[in-house]
């Protein structure tokens, strides 16, 4: 249907033109049933909002910057996909940025340099402290993702990494595993993500009555399967004998599978293995990886809703929200037998 207008969508969906406008512009206070009906009408009629006209009228660009430290990490790429689709449903497009974990790039994203280019910023900082984020945040609304520290004035959406890590250890302990290694730890300048997962690993051991053995904590480069394989392989060759390996991320888990297979160790019979993120790789390998999985759809929905509220003028204290996670159990660390 050519030249579909807002009024055409409203008539087709049986709602007011204002309701259609609210859905197109991502207004959060619309009932889910109404939003679904309007979105179905938009899809069936092929309506496309006149972004140029909207931008001229509102002074907005219709663009949101999304910044991750490293887009080679499967979790970031997959979350970017979910966020892009969710943003489109709200009438926005994403401008994808890779910070490389560089503080100067992260500071620029938080500063007025982005004003006039994007309406808001979603980002997961790698190294900026809460104080730096507060100092450099000006010009555009910001919502932080992940485990980075967030000042009171900034919205923040994440999962509870410590609780998830405790859950992983408790699952492995329920399998009868007592020598649970951790791969890959960052000792010198750990990211907040690594710090929280290691804390959760240690708390999980303590809650299961298992002593923390630093000889079972293997340092290594994060999000690098080859480096993880080499780090774990060297530890195994030096005599470390775990019966389970808790991996910081899915790529580390892939490296662990390689190192164990190279030494004739069976997964999970000899050594159970867990990953983190539940990327598409986790179910593609054999044995399939038991992983922590964030509710990516809920994370995307909440982050975008908070950001759009900021774009539309909300100026209250930061909302710090935790979304659900789950432990997806597969062959690498199966369910305990009764």
CB 121 within 8 A of CB 64: yes
User: For residue range 94-135, what is the model confidence (pLDDT) as tens digits?
Assistant: 999 898 878 888 887 777 555 568 899 999 988 787 888 877
Q: Report CA torsion sign: 170, 172, 177, 179.
A: negative
What's the pLDDT at 277? 96
First CA to last CA across the chain, in angstroms?
Answer: 59
What's the pLDDT at 45? 83
User: For residue range 278-305, what is the model confidence (pLDDT) as tens digits?
Assistant: 999 999 999 999 999 999 999 999 999 9
What's the pLDDT at 35? 86
Query: Residue 62 CB: number of other CB atoms within 10 A?
Result: 17
Residue 135 CB contacts under 8 Å (≥ 6 apart), including other chains: none
Q: What is the CA radius of gyration of the chain?
A: 23
Question: 59-158+295-323 with 161-294: one CATH topology?
Answer: yes
Strand order in the sheet with 244-247: 217-219, 180-185, 244-247, 272-276, 290-294, 325-328
In this structure, what DSSP letter does residue 288 have? P
CB 83 within 8 A of CB 306: no
CB 71 within 8 A of CB 223: no
Q: What is the CATH number of domain 59-158+295-323?
A: 3.40.50.2300
- Measured in residues, the chain has a length of 338
The whole model's pTM is what? 0.81
Query: Strand, coil or helix: what is 180?
Result: strand
Which residue is associated with the tokens 């008539």? Answer: 11
* 161-294, CATH topology level: Rossmann fold (3.40.50)
What's the pLDDT at 41? 86
Give domain limits for the chain.
Answer: 6-44, 59-158+295-323, 161-294
What's the pLDDT at 18? 80
Q: What are the residue ranges in the chain where pLDDT is below 50?
A: 1, 56
């Amino acid at each position: 249907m050519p030249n579909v207008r807002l009024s055409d969508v409203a008539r087709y969906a049986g709602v007011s033109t204002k309701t259609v406008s609210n859905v197109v512009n991502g207004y959060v206070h619309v009932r889910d049933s109404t939003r679904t009906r309007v979105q179905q009408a938009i899809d069936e009629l092929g309506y496309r909002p006149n972004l140029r006209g909207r931008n001229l009228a509102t002074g907005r660009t219709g663009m949101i910057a999304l910044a991750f430290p490293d887009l080679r990490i499967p979790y970031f790429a997959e979350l970017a996909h979910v966020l892009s689709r969710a943003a489109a449903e709200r009438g926005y497009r994403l401008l994808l940025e890779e910070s490389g974990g560089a503080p100067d790039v992260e500071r620029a994203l938080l500063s007025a340099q982005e004003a006039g280019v994007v309406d808001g910023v979603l980002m997961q900082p790698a190294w900026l402290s809460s104080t730096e984020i507060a100092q450099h945040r000006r010009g555009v609304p910001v919502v932080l993702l992940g485990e980075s520290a967030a000042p009171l004035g900034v919205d923040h959406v994440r999962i509870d990494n410590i609780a998830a890590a405790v859950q992983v250890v408790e699952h492995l302990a329920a399998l009868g595993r007592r020598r649970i290694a951790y791969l890959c730890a960052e000792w010198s300048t750990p990211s907040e993500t690594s710090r929280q997962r290691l804390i959760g690993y240690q708390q999980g051991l303590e809650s299961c009555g298992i002593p923390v053995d630093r000889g079972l904590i293997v340092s290594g480069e994060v999000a690098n399967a080859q480096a993880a394989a080499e780090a774990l392989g060297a530890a195994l060759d030096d005599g470390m004998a775990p019966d389970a390996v808790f991996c910081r991320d899915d790529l580390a888990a892939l490296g662990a599978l390689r190192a164990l297979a190279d030494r004739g160790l069976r997964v999970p019979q000899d050594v159970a293995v867990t990953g983190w993120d539940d990327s598409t790789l986790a179910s593609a390998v054999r044995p399939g990886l038991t992983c922590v999985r964030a509710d990516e759809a809920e994370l995307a929905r909440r982050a975008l809703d908070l950001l759009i509220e900021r774009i539309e003028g909300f100026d209250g204290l930061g909302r710090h929200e935790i979304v659900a996670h789950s432990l997806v159990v597969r062959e690498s660390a199966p369910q305990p037998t009764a």
